[in-house]
Chains A and B, each alone.
Chain A
Amino acid sequence: MEIKLKNKTKAALSTIAIALFLILIYAADNGMFSGSSWRMFITVIEKGAIFALVAASMNLLNGFTGLFSLGQAGFMLMGAYSYAIFTIPAASHDTVYQYFDGGIIKWSIVEILENKMGIAGHYLGIFLPMIFAGLLVAGVAYLIAIPVLRLKSDYLAIATLGFAEILRAFFQWNTLGPVTNGSNVLRKYTTYESAIFPVIIAGICIAIIFLLINSTYGRAFKAIRDDEIAAEAMGINLFKHKSMSFVISSFFAGISGALLAMFQTTISATPFTTQMTYEILLIVVIGGIGSISGSVIGAFLFTASAEWWLRGLDSGRWLGISSGIMRPGFRKVVFAILIMMIVLFYARGIMGDKEFSWDRFVNWWRSRPGAIKAWPDKLKANSEARKKARTAKAVAKAKAKEDKADSEKKKSSGIPLFTPLPMSDEVIIFDKEGN
């Protein structure tokens, strides 16, 4: 029996879930629970939230607009740099930019606002550069979109990948050193203090993406994904909507880049490689292409397994098993194999293209005991079906062999295998279609 919850109940459930989640994070972050697991939990939550945001932004592009873009790491890199550059405290400039005479920018937005407005200025000083980072990335993305969006699927993928590489080279360029610190790391910039911050920012951004997808624009995106020509015939301006999706996606990638910069406390251009884009793409695939809530779940699962659950595989002991093959790097191999399994056998991902809803969740939860009870029967039925298929195959094989032997016998005894068709002098010519 399907259960349908009332809208009020759903809203209440959502509020309670979000509140509980935030309280849990707040408690864990402020050391109310002790133990390394909780510290790990906080790391996973922070990093997971950041990757959830960038995965959702990639999903907006790949899953909802059907543009296979692989530039996300480049946009994150740009967001990270544009945040970090403007928030390094004036006193630290000489140590950070030690090879470039303290750099060109000698001030920090955070400090300027803090002096004027006190503690509110401090938070505004973090918030404004973050938004600025997003806007800057969006502006660059708009410029990139003009040439790139004329390309079709795989060419688009390669071109965006290429632009990400160009951005990476650009930020490592020594001539820009006074601003970007060349290929040296940027550090000592202002970061957030509480793990709640990235969670809330990422949450708001994901909610905006979600609302966008359910708006008329979102429907236009989906129409473009499903059939470009039909969408154009319906009066959707292809370039406008594609570039809009591209720019919005890049904006959020930039914000998540800024958050990542804050999370890592140091930033350099080297780790923002194509492999990072691949990881984001794989998060989207695990969650389900075309499901924002899937991307969020995927991001948390991905970070939790990469940073926490599978960590033992690197150090030689995992779930009580210890083995010589578990040395550094093994975790990523296992991980990559798991991902390949998902890609090959479970291509829909966790959520498919459906979003999370309390109705589905409750029904799934209720149907769970039944499913577990029905499991042995299902296994049995499966194995029986397999057995049946196997016997049928064997029978068919035996029959084919018999037939072959029969025809061989007939051939050797001179009996014709088939009677020739009567000849006809009428030749039928099929008309070409459309003539």
Chain B
Amino acid sequence: MNLFNTWLPYILAGIAVGGQYALIAIGYTMVYGILRLINFAHGDIFMWSGLIMVYLITVLPLWLSVIVVVVFAILLGTTIERVAYRPLRSAPRMSIMISAIGVSYLLQNFALYITGGLTKTYPAIRFLQKTVAIGSATTKMVTIITPFLTILLVFLLVMLIKHTKIGMAMRAVSRDFETSSLMGIDINRVITVTFVIGCALAAIGSVLYFSNYTGINPMSGAMPGLKAFVAAVFGGIGSVPGAVLGAFVIGIAENIIKGTGWTTFSDAFTFVLLIIILMIKPTGLFGEKDIDKV
């Protein structure tokens, strides 16, 4: 019981962070599933949603600014897709990846320009910051809300993918890009919808994530982004429930490592996990076997 009490705060924090990573990871896994592209800019879209929130909260009420942030993230994501990824769709895979890296570089530098390189204070959302006591541990409301909200959103998303026409189109496109376009599926529309969903979830994730931390700077998107990508790989890229599970595993493990006093290596652990997973089961937990065609 004593052991449980010492570890409870870390596990709670881990679950919360895991839920936030999950919301980002969905964007990675869906885009990778369809375009076979690591959207390096996704972490920066996440960071930008946080930054915009900082500026919006000064002029708009909270509920409205959350909505505007989500809309902004969607617009940013779809614009990036339209401008930087669509023209390169038939180009070799390396060029589109370089384009993604270029976009990430641009977004980071633009944020650096806007903020002047300073860490901005994220607005305190009183409802999310409320302290709650669970057993012996006290924690913020956001810690409690995150996992439930994440699971609700993921449930809705899985329903969308399984039972709607656009969801079916998404599955078809991720299975076979060319055949599905020959079957009359509007590929561009499917890709846009994918980006819309991914970015909206990342924006929601950013509200939850940055409520936990006080500051936000142009680089604060990079690490969560990479971790979320690892989570997506862990769960099997292209699989939404897999990404969510991977995110929770990473979040909890990371916080337990912090609890044991190896904070320096909490980031490194993620990548060790990635390499182990790729060595043992390259398709991830729920990934489908991908056969290379010659």
Contacts and interface: CB of A to CB of B under 8 A. Distances in A.
Contacts of B222: 273-275
A327 B112 CA distance: 11
A350 interface: no
A174 interface: yes
Contacts of B274: 158-159, 162
Given A155-B278, A159-B271, A344 B87 contact: yes
Interface residues of A, number: 46
Nearest to B113: A329
A355 interface: no
A154 B229 CA distance: 11
Contact of B38 (A157, A169, A336): A157
A162 B88 contact: no
B60 interface: no
Interface string A147-162: 1101101110111011
Interface stretch (B97-105, B148-156, B199-207): B97-105
B233 interface: yes
B264 A169 contact: yes
A282 B106 CA distance: 12
A336 to B, nearest CB: 4
A329 B275 contact: no
B93 interface: yes
Contacts of B282: 151, 155
B95 A273 contact: no
Interface residues of B, number: 48
A331 to B, nearest CB: 9
B55 interface: no
A332 B95 CA distance: 22
B267 interface: yes
A330 B272 contact: no
Contacts of A281: 98, 101
Given A172-B264, A328-B113, A344-B87, 10 more contacts: A150-B278, A153-B97, A155-B233, A155-B282, A159-B275, A162-B272, A274-B222, A278-B101, A281-B98, A336-B109
28 contacts: A68-B97, A150-B279, A151-B278, A153-B97, A154-B38, A157-B97, A158-B230, A159-B274, A159-B278, A161-B271, A162-B270, A163-B271, A165-B226, A165-B271, A166-B271, A275-B222, A278-B105, A281-B101, A328-B113, A329-B112, A329-B116, A329-B117, A333-B109, A336-B105, A336-B109, A344-B84, A344-B87, A347-B91
Interface of A: 62, 68, 147-148, 150-151, 153-155, 157-159, 161-163, 165-166, 169-170, 172-174, 229, 273-275, 278-279, 281-282, 285, 289, 327-330, 332-333, 335-337, 339-340, 343-344, 347
The 8 closest A-B pairs by CB, nearest first: A162-B271, A329-B113, A336-B106, A332-B109, A166-B268, A336-B109, A169-B268, A343-B102
